[in-house]
Amino acid sequence: MISFIVMVQLLTQLVFLLVICNYSIATDTLNPNQSLQDGQILVSAKATFALGFFSTGGSSKNRYVGIWYNKLRPEGQKTIVWVANRRSPLSATNGSLVLNDNGTLTISSMMFLPMPSVTLSNPVAQLLDDGNFVIRDANSSEFAWQSFDYPTDTLLSGMKLGWDLRTGLNRNLTAWRSYDDPSPGSYVLSMDLEVIPQVNLWSGSTKKWRSGPWNGTMYSNIETQPSINGIVISGPVSNKDDVYHMYNTSGTNIVTRMTVDQSGMFKDSVWIESTGMWNTFLYYPKRECWEYSRCGANSVCDPDAWPICRCLPGYKSKTPQEWPLADASSGCERLTALDCKNMSDGFMTITIAALPETSNAIIYPNISLNECSAKCLKNCSCTAYATANISGVGIGCVIWVSELIDMRMTSNPTQDVFFRLAAADLASISSKSSKKSQFKSMALIIIFSTVALIFLMLFFCWRRKRMTHKAFITYHQLEKDIRGNDELELTQLQWSTLMEATNNFAETNILGKGGFGLVYKGKLAEGREVAVKRLSKNSTQGVDEFKNEVTFIAKLQHRSLVRLLGYCIQRDEKLLVYEYMPNGSLDALLFDKEKGMHLDWQTRFHIIVAIARGLLYLHQDSRLRIIHRDLKASNILLDIEMNPKISDFGLARNFGEHETITKTRKVVGTYGYMAPEYALDGVFSVKSDVFSFGVLILEIISGQRNRVVLSQPNLYLLGNAWSLWNEGKVLDLLDPLIGNLFSVSQVMRCVNIGLLCVQEKAEDRPIMSSVVIMLGNDDAPLAMPKAPGFKGIFSTKHDSASDHAHLYTLNNITLTEHTGR
């Protein structure tokens, strides 16, 4: 018995030793001519980091040498922070990493990075606990080579992002090509050697974002300073040897990293021990105004205004016909040329978030603003000047000798820029300001006049009484119409019931809002959860739309349509009660980089097919023949199992049995989803909904709204999809958040169907019965699509002087009026 136990113990130890031999060499150091075989790892002294061979997810068999967090593994996955041979992967699992006796590293006899230029007498390679892999002489602490000088897509604490001016080494972050391909992608985050050093994000040779100058506390184009104690952000260090950015968390238990991902976004993340996940606490670019030079030269981007771009005072748009189409890239030009000869020009102040682009600026150290102003006036090329440091101490002033680029507003702007204007423009601006002030004074006098006040009060009382009486008659008739419709099996709920269900319409119960008003979550007495849509008194959804919503949804029953449970009319209050959708609207998940990760390919494909079947029911299989007219991502609701439900029938139209096409003088809906014939001429049919569905397919596949594509500024999403289709790069359209778990043939088929649905001519688009067959049958033949409608920047022209159209290019702008031929 004892011998048997001893034998088991010996076998257990033998198995343990074999595992150790296969997966680790139990050290943090490689000695000369010692090899690290595929399957073995180096582990840093405190087991913080590991180095070894790895493969990415999916079907890739390529092998790479990299460094990853040894202990921190969200959902069991390695978090790779450095890749040695990202350009030259191995195709087999028999590779080895060798430290040669001259102090150089090779992977299977290949040199993968520049190695030490000096020969070491007794070299060692060591993985340190900060994630740095170094080569040094065994008798020295100085590094002859380090991985920190060759970062990939991750910046760790203590790493430098920037230049070594002595050697010309540029340490920058380059994103992976895709989630499972670590080869260099198109996005690069680097510290540029400009007049005032700053961090820039590039896509190829195109600048996508810049940090702005350091203001003594943080980079001025980053609105929020990280609030995590223990993170020390070092501004740009600039001296004769180095120009770099760095952060430090040494001496703390905080684990952070900065990464650049495949979508062109860089993130600062911190490891949360309690959740076992990385939490992003800072990311850029965030919104449209963070895009580099979003509004062109001599203009300011304000994310909280519409339109978001506006020219500086004294300037006008170079291409005013393109600004309503959300294309302000051409920028602005002066109303009046500068007068350098007579020095009659002056300056006007604008307060913005950060200094304009400083690559073509000039720095004057240690001079006052008055001296700076004088220098600018003497320089005929000078367009503006400002202090070079917001705190008022430091390097003096900066002047610009070119157009002003990349200016952005925030809710709390802090940087004053003094831009140069001709005397005539300054006088005109001053005159307008004076007239405006006089007008305000006159208005105040009139408003506070006793006679005017009495008159306004009497008029208001009379008007209100009249409107109340009119509203009572209108809503009384509406209630009578709904109650008198015997076909409607719909419950009329009491106002008190809905007040109790929503806790008196408490703000904490608000699910969302739109032009119609607010939607509240409620709970009826029997415990059923509902969504209560309360139309505001100023709602864009009027009596006819309310009647549409009640009539159509109550008569339609399909698993892909939202269910209307009841309604309430209380004087001028109109309320609709729907089944509650726990996962909210599709757009809230689809266009959010965090929530979008819950939408894998199978879920997206299921949503596409279910919406198609719902539309087929509306167009063909229901007892009514309905055209929705406002199909979009925000009108698709998701239940607890991610089943989609088409909602909001306020704009829907009922077609007669033999009616195929009709025309309206009032175009309503959401631009970006409208078919060309409807947006331009007011003509709509079932093919109008097919176009909207095609847009929706491409948005679901790409995770992008149908707006201008950043990498293709002349193309909308439809145009970008069409371009990728013709170039044979359809998979480049796929949302990176999907990862690699998808069917290539299924994605190709869906893009093909989406492009068929958005073809410019209505007669070329398929009907929904054909779409459902094509989605559900992999053997169903697919036609080659023709060019889509609204694929890029366009303008609207009509031959007749009486024709007039209002068109806007952003998805969330509603077209409310159209006068066609």
Distance CA 326, CA 707 (A): 9
Angle at 211 between CA 152 and CA 319, to 5 degrees: 115
**Cis ω for the linkage preceding 285 (within 30 of 0):** yes
Q: Is 445 helix (H, G, I), strand (E, B) or coil?
A: helix
DSSP 535-552: E-TT-SS-HHHHHHHHHH
For the chain, the straight-line distance linking the first and the last C-alpha, in angstroms and rounded, comes to 101
Amino acid at 681: D
Cis bond leading into 736, ω under 30°? no
Nearest to 421 by CA among 374, 377, 367: 377
Q: Is 544 a catalytic residue?
A: no
Q: Tell me the C-alpha distance between 35 and 567, whole Å.
A: 75
Say if residues 398 and 355 touch (Cβ distance below 8 Å).
yes
d(Cα 443, Cα 449) in Å, to the nearest integer?
A: 10
**DSSP codes, 108-174:** TTB--S---SS--SSEEEEE-TTS-EEEEETT--SEEEEGGGS--SEE-TT--EEEETTTTEEE-EE
Cα dihedral 671, 676, 680, 685 sign: negative
Q: φ and ψ at 445, to 5 degrees? A: -65, -45
**Maximum Cα–Cα distance for the chain, whole Å?**
114
Q: Are 82 and 98 in contact (CB under 8 A)?
A: no
DSSP, collapsed to helix, strand or coil, labels residue 500 as helix
Q: Which residues contact 762 (CB under 8 A, 6 or more apart)?
A: 675, 677, 685, 687, 688, 691
Catalytic residue among 38, 153, 630, 735: 630
Q: String of b and e for 624-635 (b: at least 16 CB within 10 Å)?
A: ebbbbbbbbbbb
268 φ/ψ angles, rounded to the nearest 5 degrees: -105, 125
d(CA 25, CA 42): 6
For the chain, how are helix, strand and coil distributed in percent, rounded to 5? 30, 30, 45
Two tokens, residue 660: 């195929």
How far apart (Å, rounded) are the C-alpha atoms in residues 371 and 89?
58
Report the alpha-carbon distance of residue 94 to residue 109 in Å, rounded. 12
Rama region for 463: left / alpha / beta (φ>0; ψ in -120 to 50; rest): alpha
146 token code pair: 């380090």
Q: Give how far the C-alpha of residue 435 lies from the chain's centroid of Cα atoms, to the nearest Å.
A: 42
What are all long-range contacts of 204-213, with beta carbons under 8 Å and residues at least 24 apart? Answer: 207/292, 207/293, 208/264, 208/285, 208/291, 208/292, 208/710, 209/284, 209/285, 209/290, 209/291, 209/292, 210/292, 210/357, 210/406, 212/353, 212/354, 212/355, 213/354, 213/355, 213/358, 213/388, 213/389
CA–chain centroid gap for 744, Å, is: 25
Q: What is the set of active-site residues?
A: 630
